[in-house]
Structure 1
C-alpha cells in the first residue's frame, strides 16, 4: 500500500482516487470547494481544502502532503475568463502556482511527483510526435505547462514523471457535443489525438505500480481517424446534428505516437472506448 496525495480531485482526479483506494492505497485528495469535501470523504478519500494561488498556497497543503510518498498534480492552467490575470498578461500565473508549491513538497515526505500535462506543449507540427520531439507550444496554456514541467523536473529533491495527455474524453465528456450542428469547422482532415478517462487512470496506475519515475510519456490512443470522419460518426452514434466542415485542405497533420507508453509500460489501450 502506498500513501498518495492527489492535488485536484476533479474530472480525472476523483475517479482516479476511487480506483487507487480500491487497489488498497491510502489517498489524500484536495478540492477548492468546501461543498465537495463531503463528496470526497464519502468515497474514502481523506479530504483537504487546498487553494494554490500565484502568490501563496493555503496552509492546509502541509497536512495534505503529510506522510505521502507520491504526489499527483492534476490541476488545469485555467488561463481564460475569471481565472486570467488580465491586468498583467505577461505574468505566468500557473507557473507561479507550481513554483509556490515547490517549498511545501521539499519539506514534506513526497519523493515522487506525477504531473498531468498536455500534448499542447508540442504545438501543431505536421509530423509524428514522440517524446523526443522538441516541444513548441503555441497556446498560452501550452507554454505555461511546459515551463511548469521544467520547474518540477529540475528539482533534485524528488523524482518527477510528466504525463502528457491528448484530448480528454469520457462517458460524460465528449467534444462532439460541442461540435454538433456547428458549421464551417476547420481542419477536416486533421487526425484526432484523444485519450479516454479509463485509459488515463490505468496508465497512471501502471506508472505507480512499475515505478516509472524521472520520465516523460505521451498518452494518446493509437487511433487517428480524421476529425471529419470521427466527429461525423460520433454525431450519428449520439443522434446529434452533424457537424459541417469546410472543404479546404487541413494544414494540421499532427499525430501523437503512443509507442513509448505501449512498449515501456506494456500498456494496451481500450480502443472500444473510442
Structure 2
C-alpha cells in the first residue's frame, strides 16, 4: 500500500484524501493547522497531523508527517497580507523553502504542487503550458516562484498542477456575484474546474506516474462571464448579476488539451 502525505486537508485536500483511502491502495497522512480539525481527519481514516509552516520555521512533527510516504501533495494557498510588496510574496516562498530540507531527508520521491492558472495573467490568447507565465496578481507571483523552486530541486520529481477557478456543490462564484451591478468583463471567457474533476486528475497523475510535468486543468467550457453567471443565477433562484456594457479586452482561454491527451482524461461537463 502506497502512503501519501497531503499538506493541507482543506476544501480540496480533505475530499481528495477520502477518495484515495476509498481506493484501498493508499494510506494518507493529512495535515491541518487547526487542532479542532484533527478529529475530523481521524474520523475520515486519515492519519492526522497538526502542521504549520512559517516563514522562519516548520512544526516539529513535520518529520512524522512525511515519514514513510512516497508522495507529497502540497495544497496550501499563499497567505496574503493585503498588500502587494515583496515581503508578502516572500512569506509564502520562504515557507516552502523551509519545508524543502525536510522533504529531501524524508522518503518522499514525488511532489505534486497545486498551483493556479493565475500565473499566466490576462493575456488575450489561448493559454497552453508553453505560454510564458506573466502573473499580474500577488498570489500568481507567489505561486510561480514556488513552482520554480520545486521544479529545480533534483532530490525529488515534481509535477505542477495549475487549476482554474474552483467550483463545487458548496462553492460557486455566482453566490458572490448575485445582485451586484456594473460587473466588469462581461464577455471574458470563464475558466473553471469542478472539485470532482480536480480529485480525479490528481488520482490519475499518481496512477499513471506523470511526474516532471506541468499541467493546466480547466474544463473545456468557456462561455462568457455574463452568459454563464446569468444562467447560473437563474437556475439557483438568485438575484441576477448586472454586467457593465463596456466590452472587455480579456480573452484569456486556458487550454487543458495536454492533460486530456496525456491522461486520456474527460471532464464531466454536466457539472458545469
Contact 2:89 2:141 in 1 (8 A): no
Structure 2 length normalisation: TM-score?
A: 0.98
Please tell me whether the aligned partners of residues 85 and 93 of structure 1 are also in contact (alpha carbons under 8 angstroms): no
With over 3 angstroms needed to count, the CA separation of the structure-2 counterparts of 1:80 and 1:22, relative to structure 1, is: same
Residue 116 of structure 2 corresponds to residue 118 of structure 1 = yes
Structure 2 contact 4–70 (Cα < 8 Å) conserved: yes
Contact 2:89 2:138 (C-alpha < 8 Å) held by counterparts: no
C-alpha separation in 1, matches of 2:268 and 2:207: 19
Task: Decide whether aligned partners of structure 1 residues 91 and 205 sit closer, same or farther in structure 2, where only a CA change above 3 A counts.
Answer: closer
Q: CA deviation at 1:78?
A: 1.7
Cα 1:180–1:41 change in 2 (3 A) is same
Which position in structure 2 is the counterpart of 1:14?
14
TM-score (norm 1): 0.97
> Residues 204-219 of structure 1: matches in 2 within 5 Å?
204-219=202-217
Distance 1:70 1:223 in 2: 31
In the TM superposition, residue 59 of structure 1 has moved relative to its aligned partner by 1.0
Paired position in structure 2 for 1:43? 44
Corresponding residue number in structure 2 for 1:137: 135
Q: For 1:164, what is the secondary structure of its paired residue?
A: strand
- C-alpha separation in 2, matches of 1:4 and 1:229: 41
Q: Please report how far the alpha carbon of residue 90 of structure 1 lies from its aligned counterpart in structure 2 after TM superposition.
A: 6.0
| Aligned-partner Cα distance in 1 for 2:156–2:17 | 22
Residue 78, structure 1, aligned to residue 79, structure 2: yes
- Mapped to 1, the partners of 2:151 and 2:113 lie a distance apart of 10
- Tell me which stretches of 4 or more aligned residues in structure 1 moved more than 3 Å: 88-91
Structure 2 residue aligned with 1:57:
58
Query: Which residue of 1 is the match for residue 147 of structure 2?
Result: 149
Distance 1:263 1:91 in 2: 34
Measure how far apart 1:89 and its partner are.
3.9
Please tell me whether the aligned partners of residues 167 and 195 of structure 1 are also in contact (alpha carbons under 8 angstroms): yes
**Structure 1 residue ranges without an equivalent (≥5):** none
Q: Is the 8 A contact 1:116 1:163 kept in 2?
A: yes
Q: Write the distance in 1 (CA, Å) between the matches of 2:121 and 2:179.
A: 27
Output aligned runs, 1:1-274, within 5 Å: 1-24=1-24, 25-81=26-82, 89=87, 92-274=90-272
